[in-house]
Chain A
């Protein structure tokens, strides 16, 4: 039975069962709403005003950046056409909500309130405002389960934004740590470097921030350095997430094992 699941023979069964369990998950989610509204009620007026102020500043800042972004995007498209490059980066996104249920604490998964009725597919990337969160692993009719990038069985193909060094960010199971194995000791990588998706696994669209390097330790006795990173996405405290449909990323039916294998081939050569 367990073995069956490993090769994904039982996906339809799981999808049907998620339909049965979904109402229960919704009820649990709803029952937490009063708790949240109570905490809102008690947050003081000054704190709210402060929040409004910071949000307003950020909004202005982002608007200014967006103006530049529009011109840059147009320029980028024009240059790409000059180069006859066909890589299309247009994306369709949809906001999904994380249902407030706690799953098995060791598998680092979340339930979202969109399923196959909203064209969600297995392997679909999940983002939040700050970066990559994970990918969808099981799709039910109205809900789906997503694996976070910090899950021990998840590997994200990344590259260093500064110099394009490719790497794999493996989940550790700890809520705020990613490991980068197979980084040679003499590689140009520093604390504070931003890791973005490289798009090599064919699963995540390229160029989304994933993590910031938090620790680099050279181990002269080992072939590879110890490199740790902190995810930029707010993996624990967020409710709204973005589902992304990219035209260049085709829905592939094989599950998470496929990703791990695909990324395994992209190890940087020392």
Chain B
């Protein structure tokens, strides 16, 4: 087995930073509610691929940074991502063996769960979520094959294990 790339942590962090940048990238107002949860997708990929390196703690950190960057309550997305990370960690061996399209459906369920937790927080602070709040679950499902193939290519290219 080949040794891991010496800067593998840097590569994982870079993918998260890029995901966050894409999340912030301005798009027309019409497309804004359709934006997939890029950070969550990248997180799910890394947990499935490297469950011994990326886990609940990474999820929470990524979520906190996403909270700070997108102006939501500190902890709202962190909590959602941590819960999703825990479940993915439990199921990672099963998800790994699914074909990509089946993974995409599972991912949609996870993103929906992430959004349910966000909706709960929003409900507590008196800002109920409307229909468009749930659309990213579907677009994330459609974006999953792209994220999966791209990150797998990066992981193999740089020997991140």
Contacts and interface: CB of A to CB of B under 8 A. Distances in A.
Bind each other:
yes
A20 B65 contact: yes
A20 B68 contact: yes
Contact of A1 (B26, B71, B74, B127): B74
Interface stretch (B17-25, B38-46, B86-94): B17-25
B47 interface: no
Interface size class of B (residues with CB under 8 A): 35 or more
B56 interface: no
A200 interface: no
B24 A109 contact: no
A204 to B, nearest CB: 21
B26 A106 contact: no
B25 A13 contact: no
A2 interface: yes
Interface in A79-123: 100-107, 109, 111
Interface in A1-50: 1-2, 4-6, 10, 13-14, 17-18, 20-21, 24-25, 27-28, 31-32
A39 B92 CA distance: 45
A17 B71 contact: no
B32 A2 contact: no
B74 A24 contact: no
Interface string A52-70: 0000000000000000000
Given A1-B79, A106-B127, A106-B133, 7 more contacts: A1-B78, A4-B75, A25-B24, A28-B24, A101-B69, A104-B71, A152-B127
Interface of A: 1-2, 4-6, 10, 13-14, 17-18, 20-21, 24-25, 27-28, 31-32, 100-107, 109, 111, 138, 145, 152-153, 173, 175, 236
In the A-B complex, the 7 residue pairs with the smallest Cβ-Cβ separation, listed nearest first, are A1-B75, A17-B68, A101-B24, A103-B71, A21-B69, A109-B71, A2-B75
